[in-house]
Each structure stands twice: as C-alpha cells, then as structure tokens.
Amino acid sequence: MADIIQLLPDHVANQIAAGEVVQRPASVVKELLENAIDAGASQIKLIIKDAGKTLVQVIDNGKGMSTTDARLSFERHATSKIKTADDLFKLNTKGFRGEALASIAAIAHVELKTKLEEDNLGNTIVIEGSQVASQDIVVTPKGTSISVKNLFFNIPARRNFLKSDTVELRHIIDEFHRVALAHPDIGFALYNNGSETFNLPITNYRQRIVNIFGNKTNEKLVPVEEVTEVLEISGFVCKPEFAKKTRGEQFFFVNNRFIKSAYLNHAVVSAFDGLLKTGTHPSYFLNLTVDPQSIDINIHPTKTEVKFDDEHTLYALLRSAVKHSLGQFNIAPVLDFDHDANLDMPYKYDAKRAGSPNIEVDRSFNPFQEETNSRARAVAYKKEPVTTWESLYVGLESKGTSTPSDFSEVRFESEPETSSMFKNVQDIESARTTYQLHNKYIVSTIKSGMLVIDQHRAHQRILYEDFLKNMTVKEGISQQLLFPLKLPFSANEIEVICQLQDDLQHTGFVFSSHAEDTLEVTGVPVSVPESEVSIILEQLISDVENEVPDSNFSATDLLAKSMAKSLAIKTGQVLQKEEQEHLVNKLFACKEPNTSPTNRTTFVTMSVDELDKKFI
C-alpha cells in the first residue's frame, strides 16, 4: 500500500492556523493591539474601514523592529516572548505563540512599516497570502504601522460567514474596550470610516472607564480594594440600582489580560445577593493581580480563559472584597440590633463643644404687689360676666336658619346598587368563560373541551404583529411627553439607536436630540409606559448587538420582537376577567396565533375525550 501521509505546505498550514487565531476582523484587532502594547508603545491608533473587512490598521510609537526581525515576524512560531517551555508559566506579555502575524498574512494583504529609534530609515514589507510581494527601505516615524487589507480575500467561504457591518463593528469595539481598560497608562484612538469614535488620553483607571462609557458612569462606581498574599484586587463595581438586564459591562482582568470566568462572575453576583432586581446583572471593572506561576493562560486559542491553581481561595477573597466595599460605602444595609439610632450625632455637630445654658431672671417681678398695678401691667381679654344660664340661649331662635320641621325634608345620598352581589351563583359561573391559573395560564372552554393559553407568549404574539404592522404601514401612534426623558447611554449604544431611529419612529418613539452620552425622548408609543422606556431601549440595544446575523435578516422584524418581549404581560401578573377575554380574542385575531415570535407554543387544547381518559 502506498504512503498516504504527507506534510502540508506552509501556506495551507497557515490558513488552518488562521481558523483558530482569526475568526473575524475583531480577532485581527486584538492581536495587533496586543503586539503594540508588548512593543512598549505609549500611543496607539486603530483605523477601521467597513467594519474591518476592507482595512484594519494599527499605528504605535513603540520600539519598532529591525530589518531581520520585520521579515522573521511573519514566520510561524517566531516570537521574542519565550525561549523555553518554563517561560509559559511566568508570562508578563500579551502575545507569545508567534502565530498571529503568520496567520493574518495567510488570509489577507498585509503591509508593515517599522523603524527602530536609533535608525534613520525604516523598512516596509508587503505580503499577500503568505507570499512576500516586496520588501524595501522607507521613511517612517519611530514605531510600527501594520495594515491588514481585504481580510479572507483567498477564502471566500470564510468571508461569507462574517456578519453585518453593525455586528462586526460591535465586536471590534468590544475588543478595543477590553485592551483600553486594561491599560489606562496608554493613550488609544479609534477611527471608523474616517471619523473619530474614541480618543482616550493617558489617565487613571476611573477616568478611563468614564471616558469609554460616558460621564454618567462616574456616579455609579464603587471602588474595590483588597491586598493579600495570594491576590490583589482593584477596580470598581457599579451600584445595585444601576444593574442592567444585559451582561455588557462586566470586565475581569488578570495581570492586565482580559479573561472570561463564569466562576469568578458568580463570586461577584453572590456579593450582590439581596440587592439586585430579578433578571438584572451587576456591572464591574475588576483587576486581579496574581503570581504568573499560579495561572495557565495557554489553554485557549484566544487566551480569554485562564486556569487558576486555587480557584476556591480566589472566589472567597473576591466575594468578600466586593461585599466589604458595598457595606463600607453604605450600599448594602447593615443590621446592628445593639445600636441605638437616637444616640447618633449629626456630622456637623461632631466636633462642636457643648455650651452651658443661659438663665434669665426678671428681678423686677414682685408677686406681692397691689392688684391694681398688676392689672395695669397685664394684658388680658375681659369677658362679660354671665349672671344666669338662661341668657346663654337668648337670640338663638333669631340667629338660627333652620327649624325642627326642616329635618323632615332632609334627603340622604343614595348608595350605588349592589344587586350583582346577590345574584345566583350558577348565573355567575355560567357567565364566566375564562380562568387564570397560577397567574401564568388562561384557561378557557371551547366546544370540544378546554383551551390553556400561556399569557406571556400570547401577548408577545399580539404585540409583535401590532408593531410589525405599524412599522410596515408607518402609522405608529405616538404619545407626546410633557417633560422629555433624558436617558444616559454610551456613545456606541446611541449609535445603535440612531441606526434604528426611522423604524422606532414608525412604532411611536420620537427623539428630539442626542449628545455623546444622553438621548432625549419626547414621545413614546401609546402602549408603552414612561417608566419602561429605558428598559425597552436597553433590551433593544442588546438584541441588536447580539442577534442581528446578516443582511438577509430584517432589522424591522428584530425591532418588533424585542419590543414585544419587553412589553408583554409577565408571568405572575394578575389579569381581570375583561383582560383575560380581551387577550384570548386578540390572540385568535392574529395571523399566526399558534406560536410566539420566537417560535414557541402559545396555547394547547385538551378535548373532553382526553379528560375522560384521565378518570378511567
């Protein structure tokens, strides 16, 4: 039998490796930003075009590379970060596997410009699909500029799997946030299609969070500080009243590297136990510093998962530190049964000394003075003496306006008739057509048996078709607000709202203006309460960021689904008889009453024969 095992060519091996390293344009952004940080840059600029599909460019002022290093950096497993296997357990850098540039160059057009500080001229290399097209000397400033153009140009199938520009840009901005939050000592700038999206100067950690997520974030932050032999914790958590329905603003950094850890997230959530509303998630920005030898960061291709030696200790320390901060800043209630609140002294009187009371004496007072003199000094009301008790009733008949005979003409207000309370019980039972079961299901009788409706899913279907009709016909009814709502959002969230503004206006929303971190709403749909506007828009932004797949998907449909999900009657809500009947009638007036907008069953039927079988 002939030999069938053979070595893959380098360009094929690089494309296979690119499948792990480069999943989308955001993966390229992550690798290039981390390389710039490892190069010691203090200013990093990221330039994006067409959500990274056309161009991803990173410019830094780091140390740069020599001619040999520039050419060697595109070879597989070429790195300056490690030399032996033991170095994997004491890493303080970002990239170390030496596959990033080789994988990127295998599936894109790459142009590299770099110069050392001591050199007069730099070098430029152009690579297309792992093949070096040119290498030359060029005039360039100190540092490195690398441009990645036409991503996946030689793998059309991979390019077809990319999502819409909105989704891909959202992933790029997420990676940019993670790197920028981990390094407040480095200045970052992001330009998207020629316009400046972020310009983050060198600052402290708190100000970096505010610069990214808006000025309103500053009042939400609660500092967390804890130093132990095993772990150092620093950063911020947000107050419970600002908890969101999404998990967007949750950041863990271990040794300045962003990670995802459901275990550590549970530690933070448990510290908020009893302080959060149901269905909300706390926001946090926490830096963990541990011994590099106690973690393994090489267990995942994207290096976002880390394995700890002693996770239980980290869990306990993190939970205690967050809980201590919430109690220290009076966020969490403290119960002390031995404390008497009446003995508390106001802060402004804390350093004030007690003064002696002033006693005033009227030395001219003489109780034995003559009665005439005392009467002259006293000012009192002089009342005429009453000689007989009959005089008290003199003139009463003339002053009065009514006589005893008037009482015969007094009419009392009649009470509303309550005859319905005394109707026959059988009449009531026969008139009732619906019942609410456990505040979740509506049970109704039909000719063949019984109908059980899920009230939440049924209302979703009703609202979904109403919103979809309004947006299609463009006849949404709006209710103008007396006082406009000013809602705080980040710049990215406002950009998402602006993209959906036309469809939102067709449902009844009216936006007067928007700033960098504030959105002003002057009108809402008739069915939307004013208190729910912020929740609806947050849910909508989350759905758009996470669920919009590609151009074949209708943004209008997603908007209708998101609003229906937010406004639908919740499980546990008590419905009156009229509301139950209205819900049933509206459901069966829908085009597709059998399923909810998410393709879940809205009702089930049970015939009389099926009920009879239960009693056999």
Tokens of 604: 């089930």
Percent of the chain with pLDDT over 90: 24
The pLDDT-based confidence of 57 (bands split at 50, 70, 90) is: very high
Average pLDDT of span 512-528: 79
Q: 577 in helix, strand or coil?
A: helix
pLDDT digits (tens, 9 = 90+) for 568-599: 888 888 888 888 888 988 998 898 888 998 88
- In angstroms, the CA 95 to CA 539 distance is 35
Spatial neighbors of 551 by CB under 8 A, at least 6 apart, are 164
Lowest mean pLDDT among 438-442, 470-474, 598-602: 470-474
Per-residue H/E/C for 69-106: HHHHCCCCCCCCCCCCHHHHHCCCCCCCCCCHHHHHHH
The answer for 556, left when phi > 0, alpha when psi is -120 to 50, beta otherwise, is alpha
Q: How many CA atoms lie within 13 A of 535 on its CB side?
A: 16
pLDDT digits (tens, 9 = 90+) for 100-120: 888 888 889 999 999 998 989
Percent of the chain with pLDDT over 70: 79
Q: Is the pLDDT of residue 550 over 60?
A: no
- Report pLDDT for 479: 83
β-bridge partners, 251: 285
Could you give phi then psi for residue 114, rounded to 5 degrees?
Answer: -150, 155
CA dihedral for 115, 116, 117, 118, sign (positive or negative): negative
b vs e for 511-543, b when ≥16 Cβ sit within 10 Å of the residue's Cβ? beebeebebebbbbbeebeeeebbebbbbbbbb
Look up residue 245 and give its DSSP letter. Answer: S
Report the run of H or E that residue 222 belongs to, with start and end.
strand 221-227
Exposed / middle / buried, residue 173 (Cβ in 10 Å: 0-12, 13-18, 19+): buried
0.85 surpassed by pTM: no
8 Å CB contact between 55 and 202:
no
Could you give phi then psi for residue 615, rounded to 5 degrees?
Answer: -105, 5
- In angstroms, the CA 480 to CA 157 distance is 49
Residue ranges and CATH numbers for the domains of the chain are 10-200 (3.30.565.10), 205-328 (3.30.230.10), 437-605 (3.30.1370.100)
**Nearest alpha-carbon partner for 599 in 561, 554, 552, 555:** 561
Q: Is the pLDDT of residue 183 over 90?
A: yes
Q: Compute and round to an integer the Cα radius of gyration of the chain.
A: 37
